[in-house]
Structure 1
Amino acid sequence: MLTLVIGNKNYSSWSLRPFLVLRTFGVAFDEVRILLDTPHFQQDVGKWAPNLRVPALHDDGLVIWDSLAICEYANEQYLDGRGWPAETAARAQARSAAAEMHSGFTALRKQCPMNMRRTPDNYRPDAEAQRDIDRIQAIWRELKQTHGQGGDFLCGAFSIVDAMYAPVVSRFLSYGVEMDDTARAFADAIQSLPAWQEWRDAGFAEIEYLPDTEKFRA
């Protein structure tokens, strides 16, 4: 049995990505959740991940860390390649988009961290983060127009690239980001996934640690 080590479901965007891939493709796994920002987080996560971060995947003594690496491992070992689009050009561009998400958009990450419980208010990102937002929606439009006409997701059927951008959907919703038609349709598709709904509901219900008070709250 695989074991996926994750952080808070309300906050851990990197943990959400492999969770969606494994759940949506029906790969069975056990789950270990380690609350972020607790005084003993590094001690706890150190038992599972060599980089002292979440997520990490354990498979019969093998440890894979980093969200995208976990998704790629699952694709190779358990999905027979179904985690990426079957067509070569779609697969290449989906991988490019996933890699750009993996390494970029730092302004959006910093200014709009994932918080699934958050509701939109008057907060607006600055020009740098808005450039990230515009670029992300351009990627979604390009993938959808070029490769995604056969289904609800960016390249038609759900794939790893959709999981990589799923936390952005959460950010856009939580911070009231203006979305074009393609982005709204993609957000609806992500929210329709049972795995997303399972994660969201658990995130709403989980306890969290408050560093300022050194206490936990529901």
Structure 2
Amino acid sequence: MAIAELTLSSKNYSSWSLRGWLLCRLAGLDVREKMVALDNPDNRAELLLLSPSVLVPRLTHEGASVWDTLAIAEYLHELYPDAGMYPADRIGRAHCRSVSGEIHSGFTNLRSALPMNLKVRHARFPIFSGAKPDIERVETIWEECLERYGGPWLFGDRPTVADAMFAPVAQRFLTYAVPLSQRAAQYCQTINAWPLMREWIEAARAEPDELIELETEF
């Protein structure tokens, strides 16, 4: 059987790569990682938040080529329906898909004001006023989910697609010391302590510091 391949870019900077990787791990699919060259124009545009890239993440599996994180999530759920990627009940699944789609397609100001960078932590950071409504909306989503489903994950006692989709946001909030409610802050710690997240962060920190030019362009 052919080994599944997941195309990724920078583990330090690419939130979309992180999401795709987490989804594969949630499904229990073993993948071989293929890193896109950093000088690829499409990949560079994705890292600089200029445009999405059809290159990353991309899952190649048994003849299928799947890009876009939500497409990957649905493909994996179809293959592994018992992996628990979505809540078991219909209403919960609809809710999970809705919040996952919302973070997938929106929050442009948050993305541009707080780019993902797993190698740094700021004690204080000025938050662009345009990003504050996005931050408040994320807090609302988290608090509603945690209240409704009991936590510690957004949909109960195990991580789902929604947690994979919001994981980069939680890391952004930690990186830039974004003031949050107690419940939202605790959720960020839940994501940060997630063994899969720790594995990714360790790999990100080991990444060569050859992307310093990106930091000057953000």
What's the TM-score, normalizing by structure 1?
0.85
Unaligned stretches of 5+ in structure 1? Answer: 44-50, 214-218
Identity value in percent: 38
Note the aligned Cα RMSD (angstroms). Answer: 2.0
Partners of 2:7 and 2:55 within 8 A in 1: no
Judge conservation of contact 1:35–1:208 (CA < 8 Å) in 2: no
Q: Residue in 2 aligned with 1:204?
A: 205
For 1:25 and 1:74, the matched residues in 2 are separated by 6
Give the Å deviation of 1:73. 0.7
Q: Is contact 1:119–1:174 with CA below 8 Å preserved after alignment? A: yes
**Whole-angstrom CA distance in 2 between matches of 1:61 and 1:212:** 37
**Residue pairs, 1:52-201, within 5 angstroms:** 52-80=54-82, 82-147=84-149, 149=150, 151-156=151-156, 157-201=158-202
Once residues 81 and 34 of structure 2 are traced to their aligned partners in structure 1, the CA distance between those partners, rounded to angstroms, is: 22
Q: CA deviation at 1:41?
A: 5.3
Question: Secondary structure of 1:209's match?
Answer: coil
User: SS at 1:30's partner residue?
Assistant: strand
For residues 153 and 112 of structure 2, what CA distance do their matches in structure 1 show?
26
C-alpha separation in 2, matches of 1:194 and 1:211: 27
The answer to which structure has the higher helix fraction is: 2
Alignment length, in residue pairs? 202
Greater displacement, 159-168 / 121-130: 121-130
User: Partner of 2:210: helix, strand, or coil?
Assistant: strand
Per-residue displacement from partner, 1:124-168 (whole Å, max 9, x unpaired)? 222220110010000001111112x1x420011210001000000
Residues in 2 aligned to 1:183 and 1:125: alpha-carbon distance in whole angstroms: 17
- The Cα shift of 1:18 comes to 1.9
Measured against aligned partners, the alpha-carbon deviations of 1:153-203 in whole angstroms (never above 9, x if no partner) come to 001121000100000011001111012122122112212222111100000
Q: Deviations over 1:35-74 (max 9, x none)?
A: 43x2x4559xxxxxxx643110001221101111111111
The residue identity in structure 2 corresponding to 1:84 is: Y
* Aligned equivalents of 1:108, 1:212: Cα separation in 2: 21
Residue matched to 1:34: 36
